[in-house]
């Protein structure tokens, strides 16, 4: 029984690796890469899909699921992401006086705040590190879903919290959005001109971090963001 369980785990991990290495993979491709019958691969991949380690698109191909991305980003962030973001976040705070957050995709359609550099204003956003917000209605959530407009950043007003405007820009590793940098500011303190300035500052900071992750000169090219 122990040997069979170990073999099942190894096969499941092999399928996850095959999908991640390809970026996305059909059932046949993943099964072939791991050397499994399609029926065995299908059973394991359905289990992985139910646990959100894989996600099946409408065309039937599989890609990394939200749970896998969340766990990977959390492990990654502890070793590199937070430290890479610290100075760019501090620079944005110095230029704006507003609180800047770093967030990654959480579980069950959420964004998870994992770091903050607090603003310098006496009235500023409360520290929400460790809390989650919905992907659907937040600026960070739209960024993490790569639903970024042409400007390269997202602005969302009074959705997750009333009287708070969120501005967010994507951090990328290769083609994938792995995190979001966001400014959270009391709405009374921001107008369209200031929001555009904040968005550009976040975009520049996010591009710097993306470059540090190996994205290269095209990091975060002109996609738009709102929270």
Tell me 187's DSSP state: G
Instruction: Lowest mean pLDDT of 12-16, 32-36, 104-108, 129-133, name the range.
Output: 104-108
Last residue of a domain, one of 44, 64, 84: 64
pLDDT tens for 135-152 read 999 999 999 999 999 999
Minimal CA–CA distance to 114: which of 154, 70, 149, 165? 70
Asked if residue 226 is part of any domain, the answer here is no
**What domain range includes position 119?**
68-212
Task: Count Cβ atoms below 10 Å from residue 5 Cβ, excluding itself.
Answer: 9
Asked if residue 223 is part of any domain, the answer here is no
CATH code of the domain containing 74: 3.30.450.40
Same domain, yes or no: 73 and 34:
no
DSSP three-state, residue 189: helix
Instruction: Give the pLDDT score at 1.
Output: 62
Same domain, yes or no: 177 and 93:
yes
Asked if residue 170 is part of any domain, the answer here is yes
DSSP three-state, residue 197: helix
Same domain, yes or no: 83 and 181:
yes
DSSP three-state, residue 25: strand
What total number of domains does the chain contain? 2
Last residue of a domain, one of 21, 40, 64: 64
| Residues 131/106, Cβ–Cβ less than 8 Å | no
Integer Rg of the chain from CA: 19
pTM: 0.62
Instruction: Lowest mean pLDDT of 1-5, 18-22, 193-197, name the range.
Output: 1-5
Same domain, yes or no: 11 and 93:
no
For residues 15 and 32, what is the distance between their CA atoms, to the nearest angstrom?
A: 10
Same domain, yes or no: 105 and 205:
yes
Residues 6+ apart with CB under 8 A from 163: 186, 187, 188
Tell me 200's DSSP state: H
Residue indicated by tokens 């500011």: 185
Q: Does residue 95 surpass a pLDDT of 80?
A: yes
Q: If you write DSSP's letter for every residue of 121-172 in order, what string do you get?
A: SSS-----TT-EEETTTSHHHHHHTT---TTS-EEEESSSSTTEEEEEEEEE
Same domain, yes or no: 15 and 101:
no
For residues 65 and 99, what is the distance between their CA atoms, to the nearest angstrom?
A: 30
Asked if residue 21 is part of any domain, the answer here is yes
For residues 172 and 218, what is the distance between their CA atoms, to the nearest angstrom?
A: 10
Confidence class of residue 18 from pLDDT cuts 50, 70 and 90? very high
E strand map for the chain: 54-56, 62-64, 99-105, 110-117, 132-134, 154-157, 164-173, 176-186
Instruction: Give the pLDDT score at 67.
Output: 82
Same domain, yes or no: 131 and 94:
yes
pLDDT tens for 154-166 read 999 988 888 999 9
Asked if residue 219 is part of any domain, the answer here is no
Which is higher by pLDDT, 75 or 65? Answer: 65
């Amino acid at each position: 029984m122990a040997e069979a369980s170990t073999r099942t785990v190894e096969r499941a991990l092999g399928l996850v690796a095959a999908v991640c290495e390809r970026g996305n993979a059909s059932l046949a491709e993943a099964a072939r890469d791991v050397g499994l019958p399609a029926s065995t691969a299908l059973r394991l991949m359905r289990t992985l899909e139910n646990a959100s380690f894989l996600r099946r698109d409408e065309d039937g191909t599989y890609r990394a699921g939200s749970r896998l991305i969340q766990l990977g980003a959390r492990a990654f962030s502890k070793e590199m992401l937070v430290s890479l973001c610290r100075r760019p976040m501090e620079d944005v705070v110095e230029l704006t006086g507003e609180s800047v957050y770093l967030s990654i995709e959480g579980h069950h359609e959420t964004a998870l705040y994992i770091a903050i550099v607090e603003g310098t204003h006496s009235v500023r956003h409360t520290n929400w590190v460790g809390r989650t917000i919905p992907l659907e209605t937040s600026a960070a959530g739209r960024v993490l879903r790569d639903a970024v407009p042409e400007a390269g950043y997202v602005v969302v007003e009074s959705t997750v919290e009333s009287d708070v405007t969120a501005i967010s820009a994507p951090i990328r590793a290769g083609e994938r959005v792995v995190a979001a940098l966001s400014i959270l500011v009391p709405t009374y303190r921001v107008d369209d001109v200031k929001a555009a300035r904040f968005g550009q500052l976040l975009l520049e900071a996010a591009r710097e971090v993306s470059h540090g992750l190996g994205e290269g000169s095209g990091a975060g090219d002109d996609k738009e963001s709102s929270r």
